[in-house]
Structures are given as structure tokens and as C-alpha cells.
């Protein structure tokens, strides 16, 4: 009872304490105070506006409205003007009368003057924006339970394709913006609070305020030779100026993952029957054979947890955000998990009226276990093998080995810490000038550890001596950026200029060690001692191995100069000029510096007088841009000519090996970055007071100087089939993007819809021409001498390559009548003599499909009704094909996909499914294994309930919401594999399904708590 009373007095102790503290500070400053309360709501939707800011004019003192749009504000007696502001609405100034209750109706700004958009090196007023830029806000970034926040962009932003490479816990997705602009690394760069990064897997989604995708050259050219594949600018959360008290947020979520879709494979009996079809009498009593479902044995339900807590707020001079997050994903395959702790602290200190200092720092320790590639093994393992022998030991599985044994003996770990952050100082002077200097670092330290004990499962699956591998790597990048900006509204004119110079330096090193025959198998002994294993009977002579080097892509320095001028006349006519000059250590003296300009124009048509009659039209803006951007993520070390020092010559009467060394691979000292020129024409519209918004873009990107290896004439002395790297390929990506949104309220029901789509036309314009005769880039290597992609001029990057088929040979006479390969039989696939030379041979292999979708789209819907909220996000793509490579790599007798049950057994029995066989002819790369990769996926469905504030207030809780969620609930696709999303960072192997760790469906329950 005593305790309860105390609690009642002081409220939630922490929050109240903090609140009291700040109130105290404020009350010291203003001896005489009065309390103003009120509700802020929107004039158009009649909704209250939570998070609107109320500020005393001429000070930084302010408050933010609560969840119900209400505020309470202690202000000094006397003449006080309050400024009310909210994003998307016209800021209002109200001079206080004697009235202590001030309710404010906010009017939406037609061209939202106050709304700003995060762009490179600062922000721009949305109305002044001429680039193709899309922003996703915090609510949409936390929907999917995922390690990498970028997963949430799938289907959300026109022009952005996010594809999971696999379901391996801790694996980052493959991100492509507006097609594939290179055969090398086509990933965008990330800019987190100004720090330029190549990966953001260290970030907790909940710590992100917004993600802005810069797509066209007007927006990306300010990032120079790193912007060509798009730029994703991320702002993390900070305390809001004027937010008097501390807001505590707690989120917790628990989910269960299961494999989204299993592949239909043969059971033991069916398998034996199929083998008997082409090897009669192999299995006599098929009913007595074991029946093992290997997929069921390796996949299981697995939990996923995500917890986070944060405190944010601001005092008069300090804005702060402190967040902690814990993400823990078990894999659906044993021996795989990913656990991550994120510690986040953002502070801004206003030292004087003119000087600010601040920091944004995230420190992320993580641990990961990586399972061996048992998915492909389980897919191929014969179902007639019991996993265990009667004595409990692992059974031998022909050809592929026992997947369960592979798991049991695998111990493969990564652990490390990543710290990304910056400190910055800002000085404003002469009213309109701000100088900002920011020093950021990205430090990564990783330790890999793998241990395989000695074991024997079968003569092909064994390890004679235990093997311990360790790998250390570290990477430190620092980035120092100095900018000066000038913003001034002259009434008729508005000028926004930013200029600066930056320096960046990146270093790294790695060390790999292996040791053998570790004295004990348990982890306490996983330390490398000098080991020497000499076992002549097994040809083992191992003294351990040390590899110590660095990754050249993380070893460079840069100096850059940049400037952007944004000029707006009469709020209607906008001109943006940007220019960046990048100097990079990656390139030789003569190619060291690159210039990257862009120009863009915009016309706020809706501001014109003649448009004001069109009442339904709330916004109309035309814009166009052109510019040149580069991609420096290239294997630039190919510019060095190397010395080959592994040569041995045999001299002397004793025939001893004498060392030799001479010139090796020839480098190309003229290598430079890849260059993209991009044209963008866009239209932004708003109808019915912006209830309906639309954005349309046409883009045309041409990337030239793409790095390709070309064979050079033999007289250079490099040896047979060795290639030199040249800037010698050109690729075009063009298409349309649209993004439509509808937002309205009917009675108590608030709802919104969004739909976006992108068409992609990807085409290789040229390959080679600099040297030699190479015009084809092969990829999708099957490991057996065959490639399944061949990229040629006129085709998309990574185009599939193989025989075209035309049914099956039904009879011997039909077989005899057609050109065929020597090992063709009746009932097998009829490959088409494409070149019509009357012979069937390798030259008849041709283009059989593209891995690049022609259309990607997303759809989202949200509803809110009396505290109940429902969100649905759908994502999909069409026009792409998938090469089911896992089905055709058959050097041995493996299990089959169940369609083999329809196999041809005699004339007329099938016209599509060839006669069953263990491999060979019918498994050559052909269009028979190319499948439609189109899909439509329910990315997430979330049903939530927010308790009425009347109830929650009694327990000092501002907001309490519980929700149920399903990620990847359902996918419509014709594709037979685990998932139609086959991401690959290698553009020449994308869409080739090698049977990777499958993606999962996740069912979760969660809780949000604000107080």
C-alpha cells in the first residue's frame, strides 16, 4: 500500500524523474510560468496529430504532442509566440492571449514548404527537389523481422529490387537499383548519418528514422565515383528538438520460422521404381525399401527473437537517442544462427546559439554459426537410404554424402564487432551559413573459427585428421567531411548551396591459419599449435597453412570536392547543379581524378496561376535530370602487372629444383572506374488534397567502361587463355517507375493503399572492341565444364544459354530423321538445330531466357479502426526465368524431382518429360530446366491492437500495442524450387538455382510499449 501510493505520486519513476529534472531546468530559467494545453489536429483529415511540435518563438524550448495530439506546455508569462509545426502542414505562429487552452487546426501545405527530404550532404525542401528520390519512414522499416533493415525495402520503393540470396541467418540480401549496371559489383552504397558504407547489416531497423533511396544522377552524382549503382541514405533516430520529456520505447517480438516451401521429391518406392525403369531389376521389392525424407530431416521450425528498447528526448541544449537492440535468429537448419546486439547512441549538444556538436554511434557485436551446404545434399540424397545404420552410426549416402553427418561434424563460426559512427561540429554564422565538419569511422573486426573432427562415414565422406581453421580480419575506414552550406529565402528566389571536401582512408588485413590433428575435439582445444601430420599412406604431408593478406577493395584512400547548387525561382522553377571531383588511390596517376557532374530542372506546375482552377489537383511537378556517376567497386588491382615467383627450373648434376621468378599476369594500368550516364524524367502529382499521390519516372541508364576480361594476343607472353582486364563493355538499363498512394479516412476507419512498379529493360550494348575477339561473357558455372549463362551483345546480362528443346523423340525413325547428338535415344529431349546446319552440336546452344525481371512491383494496404490496425504488403516480379541448375548436376545417381514420375516410357506416353535416366544427355543445359520465375508474395501481414489510451494512461503507458504477424506467408509462383528469389551477387550467375539455404516464413507475436 505504501509502495503503491509512492508510485502514484511519482508516476513511472524513471520517466517522471527525468521529466521533473527537465521541468526543473526549464522552471529555473523562467521564474513565472503558465501552463498551456491543447490539441493539434489536421484540417483535412480531422485527425489529431501526434508528434507535432510546439515551440516558443526565438528559443529552442518546445514540446511534442502525445499520441492523441495533445500537448501541455509551461511557458513564461508575458508576450509569447508559439510556433506549431508538423511535416506536410503549414507552420503556424500564434501569439498567446489569456486563454490557456490553445487547440490548433493545421492546414496542409499545398506545396509542402516545410517538408524536407534527406539527400546527399544535407537536406532539401521537397518542393525544391529535382531528383528521383524515394523515402521510406521508420514504420515501414520495422515491418519484416530481419537482420538487415534493407529487407524491408522489398516491394516498397519503385526501382529497387531486394532479393534474398539465401535464408542463412545473418546473410544480407542482394540490392539492385534500376536494373543491373555492371557485371561486377552492382550494389548501391549506403550513407548512414553521413558515413559512406558498403553494408548496413550492423544497423537495427528500430534505430532508423528514414531510408532515402537516391536513384537518378541528379541525386547520386554528389557521390561521384561511388554513386552509379544508386545511393541509400539512412538517417538514424535522434531526439527531437523541443521534445521536452524522455520517451521510452520497448518492443519485443518472438517468431517461428519454417521453410516456406519444400520441393516435391520422390519417396523411396517411387525412386526405386524409376531406377527400375531404366535399369530393370535393380530393386526387387520396392515396398521393403527404406523411405527417407531428407528435407524433413534437415529442416525444422526455428525461433527468431527481436527485442529493443530506446530512450529519446531533448533538453534545452541536448537532444539524445539511446537504443539497445537484440536480434537472435536460429536457422531452420541445425548449426546455423545469428545473434546481434546493437548499441546506439546519438547526441546533439547545442553549445551556443551558433555552435553544435554531436555524435551518432552504433556498436554491434555479433556471433554467427554457418551450416554447411546440406540443402543441396538433401535434395540429391537417395530416399532409399536410412540416415542411420542399425548401430546408430551415420549411414553412407552414395554420391553426396550423408547430410546429417555433414551437419553433425560441422562447426563453423563467425564472431566480431562492427562500430560505425561519427562526431560532428556545426557552426552557423552570418545567419545563412553553416560550416559542418564530421569525422566518421567504420571499424570491423571479425574472427572466423571452424573445426572438423576426424570422422569416417563412408569412403567418400571422411576426415582423417581433425582440422581447425581460424581467420581474423579487421577493417578500419575513416571519413572526414567538411562542408559549408548556405540557405537563403529571398522571397522570389530561394538558394540552397552546399560545397565541401572530404577525405577517406580505408585499411584492412586478414590472416587465416589452419592446424591439423588437434589433440581433443572439444572447443576448449580449438587453438592452433604448430602441427605436423605426415601420413604417406594417405599422401598427407601437412604442416598447417598461413595466409596473410588484405582485401584490395578495402585498401584505398580518396579525396573529393563537391558542390551542389539548388536554385528556385517563384517557387516554381528549379535548377539543380551538382559536381563532384573524386581522387582515388585505386587508379594510376593518369586516371586518378574523375569528374561527375549533373544537371536537373524542375517545374512546380501546380504553383502556376492557371493551375489553381484545377481544385482537385493539389500537386503537379515536372522534373528532368541528367548526369554522370561512377562505380569504383571494381577489381582495380588488375591494373598491376604481377611477378610470378612460383617457378622452378631443374639444373645441376643432381637435378635440383632452383627457384625462378618472372613477369606474370599483365595488368592494365589504364583501368578506371565504370561510368554511368543517366537520364531521368519524372512527374509528381497529388490529387484531392494529396489523398491520392503519384510519382512517375522514366529512366535511361547507360553504363560504359564496364570491366571485362579480354583475351589478348599470345605474343604478350601471358600464356594460354589468360585475360587482361579492360574497361570495355557497355550496358543499358531503362524503364518506367510509378508509385501511387491513396490515404483517407471514412468515419473511424483510416486506410491507405500504395502500389509501385518498375519496368526494367536490360541490354548489353557492347563487349570488347579494345583488344582481341571476346564478345561473350560466360557465367553460371556448373562445376562440370558447363556454363549456363552467356552474355552477348543485345541480350540481358547473365542471359541463360543452352539447347532449345522441342518435345521428345517418340520413335527411332523420328530420332533418325532429326539432327541429334550421338547419345540421343528414343524418349529423350529433342534439341533444336538452331543454326540449321543439319548437325546438332555445341553451336546450337543459344539464348533461352533472362534472369532479370521485366517488371517488379509492390502493393501495400493499411487500415486502422478503433485501435485495430492491419497492414498487408505484397511484392512480386514477372518476366524473369530461373535456371534450375541443381537438377542437372548429376555425375552420380541422385534423387529426382517428382515430375520424373511422368517420364516417357513409350511412344505417346509423354511429350515433355524425357525418359528417366541417371544423368547425361537429358541433363544438358537446355530450356527444359528454365522455369518461369515470376512470383507474387505476401511479404507481410500484420494485425495489431492498440489498447485505448484511457486504459493505458492508468498504468502510465502512452501506448501499448500487441500484434500478430506473418512474413512471407504465401508465395504464388510456378517455380518448383524453395523460393523464386534466387539472388546472386554475381551478375553473370543470377537466377541460377544451385539449391541454396531456403528462405523462410515467419509467424510472430509482438508487443510495442511507449511511455
Partner 1 sequence: MKLSRISILLFALVLFMIMPGCKKFLQKDPQGILTADQFPTSASDALLATNAVYESLRGWYYHSGGYPILDIMSDDARKGSNPSDQASTVGPYDYFGITPTQDGLDRWWNALYVGVRRANVVIEKVPLIAMDATLQSRYIAEAKFLRALFYFDFVRAWGGVPLVTTTTPPLGLVRSSKEEIYTLIINDLQSAINILPLKSDYVSADVGRATKEAAEALLAKVYLFRNDFVNAETYAMDVINLNKYSLEPVYTDANGINGNNGVESVFEIGAIQVENEDAGGDQYGNTQGVRGNPNKGWGFNRPSVDLRNSFETGDPRYKGTVINLGDTIDGIVILGDGQTPDITQDSSGKIIEIECYNRKVWVPGATTTSNWGLHRRLIRYADVLLMAAEALNENGKPTQALTYLNMVRARARQGNPGILPDITTTDQSQLRELIFNERRHELGLEGLRFWDLVRTGRAPTKLGPLGFVTGKNEILPIPQSEIDLSQGVLVQNPNY
Which residues are at the interface with partner 1 (CB under 8 A)?
A: 352, 354-355, 425, 427, 429, 435, 437, 482, 484, 501, 503, 505, 548-550, 552, 555-559, 583-586, 592, 637, 640-664, 667, 711-720, 771-773
Q: Which is nearer to partner 1, 134 or 718 (CB)?
A: 718
Residue 572 to residue 495: CA distance in whole angstroms = 13
Distance (Å, rounded) from C-alpha 788 to C-alpha 801? 5
Q: How far is the CB of 673 from partner 1 (least distance, A)?
A: 14
Q: Are 193 and 235 in contact (CB under 8 A)?
A: yes
The secondary element (H helix, E strand) that includes residue 404 is: helix 403-408
- Nearest CA-CA partner of 328 in 339, 336, 319: 339
**How near is the Cβ of 712 to partner 1 at its closest, in Å?**
7
Cα torsion angle, 548, 551, 555, 556, sign: positive
Residue with smaller CB distance to partner 1, 650 or 746: 650
Smallest distance from partner 1 to CB 773, Å: 4
Q: What sign does the CA torsion over 457, 458, 464, 470 have?
A: negative
Name the residue nearer to partner 1 (CB basis): 484 or 962: 484
Q: Which is nearer to partner 1, 97 or 653 (CB)?
A: 653
Q: Which is nearer to partner 1, 652 or 783 (CB)?
A: 652
Answer yes or no: are the C-beta atoms of 252 and 1007 closer than 8 Å: yes
CA distance 816 to 453: 55
Task: Tell me the longest C-alpha to C-alpha distance in the chain.
Answer: 111
What minimum distance in Å lies between the beta carbon of 652 and partner 1?
Answer: 4
Residue with smaller CB distance to partner 1, 555 or 781: 555
Cα 748 to Cα 48: distance, rounded to the nearest angstrom: 12
CA distances from 484 to 220, 222, 376, 437, 693 (A): 19, 14, 55, 9, 34
Instruction: Indicate the residue among 538 and 615 with the shorter CB distance to partner 1.
Output: 538
Euclidean distance between CA atoms 628 and 221, whole angstroms = 6
Going by C-beta distance under 8 Å and a sequence separation of 6 or more, which residues neighbour residue 190?
196, 197, 198, 199, 200, 231, 232, 233, 234
Residue 110 beta carbon to partner 1: minimum distance, rounded to whole angstroms: 38
- Alpha carbon distance 22, 29 (integer Å): 11
Q: Which is nearer to partner 1, 437 or 909 (CB)?
A: 437
- Say how many C-beta atoms besides its own lie within 10 A of residue 836's C-beta: 9
Assign residue 857 a region (left: φ > 0; alpha: ψ between -120 and 50; beta: otherwise): beta
**CB distance 968 to 1002 below 8 Å:** yes
Question: Shortest Cβ distance from residue 419 to partner 1 (Å)?
Answer: 23
Distance of CA 757 to the CA centre of its chain: 18
- What is the smallest separation between the CB atom of 819 and partner 1, expressed in angstroms? 19
Q: Which of residues 524 and 721 has its CB atom nearest to partner 1 in the complex?
A: 721
Q: Which is nearer to partner 1, 423 or 435 (CB)?
A: 435
Of 503 and 901, CB closest to partner 1: 503
Residue with smaller CB distance to partner 1, 453 or 772? 772
CB of 655 to partner 1, least distance (A): 5
Q: How far is the CB of 355 from partner 1 (least distance, A)?
A: 8
Closer by beta carbon to partner 1, 525 or else 663: 663
Residues linked to residue 347 through DSSP beta bridges, in sequence order: 320, 359
- Shortest distance, position 475 Cβ to partner 1, whole Å: 14
For residues 719 and 906, which CB has a smaller minimum distance to partner 1 in the complex? Answer: 719
Q: By three-state DSSP, how is residue 37 classified?
A: strand
Instruction: Please give the Cα distance from 864 to 140 (Å, whole number).
Output: 15
| Cβ 434 to partner 1 shortest distance, Å | 11
- Phi, psi dihedral angles at 445 (to 5 degrees): -135, 125
Do residues 185 and 985 lie in contact, with contact meaning Cβ atoms separated by under 8 Å?
yes
Q: How many whole angstroms separate alpha carbon 795 and alpha carbon 389?
A: 52
**Residue 942 · residue 869 · CB < 8 Å:** yes
> CB 426 → partner 1: shortest distance, Å?
10
Q: How far is the CB of 226 from partner 1 (least distance, A)?
A: 15
- Between 659 and 908, name the residue whose CB sits nearer to partner 1: 659
- Least separation in angstroms between residue 431's CB and partner 1 is 13
Closest separation in Å from C-beta 483 to partner 1? 9
Q: State the pairing for strand pair 573-584/493-516.
A: unpaired
Contacts 24+ apart (CB under 8 A), 913-916: 913/808, 914/808, 914/827, 914/828, 914/829, 915/277, 915/278, 915/808, 915/825, 915/826, 915/827, 915/828, 916/274, 916/275, 916/277, 916/278
Amino acid at each position: 500500500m505504501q509502495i503503491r501510493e509512492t508510485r502514484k505520486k511519482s508516476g513511472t519513476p524513471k520517466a517522471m524523474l527525468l521529466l521533473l529534472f527537465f521541468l526543473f531546468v526549464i522552471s529555473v530559467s523562467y521564474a513565472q510560468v503558465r501552463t498551456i494545453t491543447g490539441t493539434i489536429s489536421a484540417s483535412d483529415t480531422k485527425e489529431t496529430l501526434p508528434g507535432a511540435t510546439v515551440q516558443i518563438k526565438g528559443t529552442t524550448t518546445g514540446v511534442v504532442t502525445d499520441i492523441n495530439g495533445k500537448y501541455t506546455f509551461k511557458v513564461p508569462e508575458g508576450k509569447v509566440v508559439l510556433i506549431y509545426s508538423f511535416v506536410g502542414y503549414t507552420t503556424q505562429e500564434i501569439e498567446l492571449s489569456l486563454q490557456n487552452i490553445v487547440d490548433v487546426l493545421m492546414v496542409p501545405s499545398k506545396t509542402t514548404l516545410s517538408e524536407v527530404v534527406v539527400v546527399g550532404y544535407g537536406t532539401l525542401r521537397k518542393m525544391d527537389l529535382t531528383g528521383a528520390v524515394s523515402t521510406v519512414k521508420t514504420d515501414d522499416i520495422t515491418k519484416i523481422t530481419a537482420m538487415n533493415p534493407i529487407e524491408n525495402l522489398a516491394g516498397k520503393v519503385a526501382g529497387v529490387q531486394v532479393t534474398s540470396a539465401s535464408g542463412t541467418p545473418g546473410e544480407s540480401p542482394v540490392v539492385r537499383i534500376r536494373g543491373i549496371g555492371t557485371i561486377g559489383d552492382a550494389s548501391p552504397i549506403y550513407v548512414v548519418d553521413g558515413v559512406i558504407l558498403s553494408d548496413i547489416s550492423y544497423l537495427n531497423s528500430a534505430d532508423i528514422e528514414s531510408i532515402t533511396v537516391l536513384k537518378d544522377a541528379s541525386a547520386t552524382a554528389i557521390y561521384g565515383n561511388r554513386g552509379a549503382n544508386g545511393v541509400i541514405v539512412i538517417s538514424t533516430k535522434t531526439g527531437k528538438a523541443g521534445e521536452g520529456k524522455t520517451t521510452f520505447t520497448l518492443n519485443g517480438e518472438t517468431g517461428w520460422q519454417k521453410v516456406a516451401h519444400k520441393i516435391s521429391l520422390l519417396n523411396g518406392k517411387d525412386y526405386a521404381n524409376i531406377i527400375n525403369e531404366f535399369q530393370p531389376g535393380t530393386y526387387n521389392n520396392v515396398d521393403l525399401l527404406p523411405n527417407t525424407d531428407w528435407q524433413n530431416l534437415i529442416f525444422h521450425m526455428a525461433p527468431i527473437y527481436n527485442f529493443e528498447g530506446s530512450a529519446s528526448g531533448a533538453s534545452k541544449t541536448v537532444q539524445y537517442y539511446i537504443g539497445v537492440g537484440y536480434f537472435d535468429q536460429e536457422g531452420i537448419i541445425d548449426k546455423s544462427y545469428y545473434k546481434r546486439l546493437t548499441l546506439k547512441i546519438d547526441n546533439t549538444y547545442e553549445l551556443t546559439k551558433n555552435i553544435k556538436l554531436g555524435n551518432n554511434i552504433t556498436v554491434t557485436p555479433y556471433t554467427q554459426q554457418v551450416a554447411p551446404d546440406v540443402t543441396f545434399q538433401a535434395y540429391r540424397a537417395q530416399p532409399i537410404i536410412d540416415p542411420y545404420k542399425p548401430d546408430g552410426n551415420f549411414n553412407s549416402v552414395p554420391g553426396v554424402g550423408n547430410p546429417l553427418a555433414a551437419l553433425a561434424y560441422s562447426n563453423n563460426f563467425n564472431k566480431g564487432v562492427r562500430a560505425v559512427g561519427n562526431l560532428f561540429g556545426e557552426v552557423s554564422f552570418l545567419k545563412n551559413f553553416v560550416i559542418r565538419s564530421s569525422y566518421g569511422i567504420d571499424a570491423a573486426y571479425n574472427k572466423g573459427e571452424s573445426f572438423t573432427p576426424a570422422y569416417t562415414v563412408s569412403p567418400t565422406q571422411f576426415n582423417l585428421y581433425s582440422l581447425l581453421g581460424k581467420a581474423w580480419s579487421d577493417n578500419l575506414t575513416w571519413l572526414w567531411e567538411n562542408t559549408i552550406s548556405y540557405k537563403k529565402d529571398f522571397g522570389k528566389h530561394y538558394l540552397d548551396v552546399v560545397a565541401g571536401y572530404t577525405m577517406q582512408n580505408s585499411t584492412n588485413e586478414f590472416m587465416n591459419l589452419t592446424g591439423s590433428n588437434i589433440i581433443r575435439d572439444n572447443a576448449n582445444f580449438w587453438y592452433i599449435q604448430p602441427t605436423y601430420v605426415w601420413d604417406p599412406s594417405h599422401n598427407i604431408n601437412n604442416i598447417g597453412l598461413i595466409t596473410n593478406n588484405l582485401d584490395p577493395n578495402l585498401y584505398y584512400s580518396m579525396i573529393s570536392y563537391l558542390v551542389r547548387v539548388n536554385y528556385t525561382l517563384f517557387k516554381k522553377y528549379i535548377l539543380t547543379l551538382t559536381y563532384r571531383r573524386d581522387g582515388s588511390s585505386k587508379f594510376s596517376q593518369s586516371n586518378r581524378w574523375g569528374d561527375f557532374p549533373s544537371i536537373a530542372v524542375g517545374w512546380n506546375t501546380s504553383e502556376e496561376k492557371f493551375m489553381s482552377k484545377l481544385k482537385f489537383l493539389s500537386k503537379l511537378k515536372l522534373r528532368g535530370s541528367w548526369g554522370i556517376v561512377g562505380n569504383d567497386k571494381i577489381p582495380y588491382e588488375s591494373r598491376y602487372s604481377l611477378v610470378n615467383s612460383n617457378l622452378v627450373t631443374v639444373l645441376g648434376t643432381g637435378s635440383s629444383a632452383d627457384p625462378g621468378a618472372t613477369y606474370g599476369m599483365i595488368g592494365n594500368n589504364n583501368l578506371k572506374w565504370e561510368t554511368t550516364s543517366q537520364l531521368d524524367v519524372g512527374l509528381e502529382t497529388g490529387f484531392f488534397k494529396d489523398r491520392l499521390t503519384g510519382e512517375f519516372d522514366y529512366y535511361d541508364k547507360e553504363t560504359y567502361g564496364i570491366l571485362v576480361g579480354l583475351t589478348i594476343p599470345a605474343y604478350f607472353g601471358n600464356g594460354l587463355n589468360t585475360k587482361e582486364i579492360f574497361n570495355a563493355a557497355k550496358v543499358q538499363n531503362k524503364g518506367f517507375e510509378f508509385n501511387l498512394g491513396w490515404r483517407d479516412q471514412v468515419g473511424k476507419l483510416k486506410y491507405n493503399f500504395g502500389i509501385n512498379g518498375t519496368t526494367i529493360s536490360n541490354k548489353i550494348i557492347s563487349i570488347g572492341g579494345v583488344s582481341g575477339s571476346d564478345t561473350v561473357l560466360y557465367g553460371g558455372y556448373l562445376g562440370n565444364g558447363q556454363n549456363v549463362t552467356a552474355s552477348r551483345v543485345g541480350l540481358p546480362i547473365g542471359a541463360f544459354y543452352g539447347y532449345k528443346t522441342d518435345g521428345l523423340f517418340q520413335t527411332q525413325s523420328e530420332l533418325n530423321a532429326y539432327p541429334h547428338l550421338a547419345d540421343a535415344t528414343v524418349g529423350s529431349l529433342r534439341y533444336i538445330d538452331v543454326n540449321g546446319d543439319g548437325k546438332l552440336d555445341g553451336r546450337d546452344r543459344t539464348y533461352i531466357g533472362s534472369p532479370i525481371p521485366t517488371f517488379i512491383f509492390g502493393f501495400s494496404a493499411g487500415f486502422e479502426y478503433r485501435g485495430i490496425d492491419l497492414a498487408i504488403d505484397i511484392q512480386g516480379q514477372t518476366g524473369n526465368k530461373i535456371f534450375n541448375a541443381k537438377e542437372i548436376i548429376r555425375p552420380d545417381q541422385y534423387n529426382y524431382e517428382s515430375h520424373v514420375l511422368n517420364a516417357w516410357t513409350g511412344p505417346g506416353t509423354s511429350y515433355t518429360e524425357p525418359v528417366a535416366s541417371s544423368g547425361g544427355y537429358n541433363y544438358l543445359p537446355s530450356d527444359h530446366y528454365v522455369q518461369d520465375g515470376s512470383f507474387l508474395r505476401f511479404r507481410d501481414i500484420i494485425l495489431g491492437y492498440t489498447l485505448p489510451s484511457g486504459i493505458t494512461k492508468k498504468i502510465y503507458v502512452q501506448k501499448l500495442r500487441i500484434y500478430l504477424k506473418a512474413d512471407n506467408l504465401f508465395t504464388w509462383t510456378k517455380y518448383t524450387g524453395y523460393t523464386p528469389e534466387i539472388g546472386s551477387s554475381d551478375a553473370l550467375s543470377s537466377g541460377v538455382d544451385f539449391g541454396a539455404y531456403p528462405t523462410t516464413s515467419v509467424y510472430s507475436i509482438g508487443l510495442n510499449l511507449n511511455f
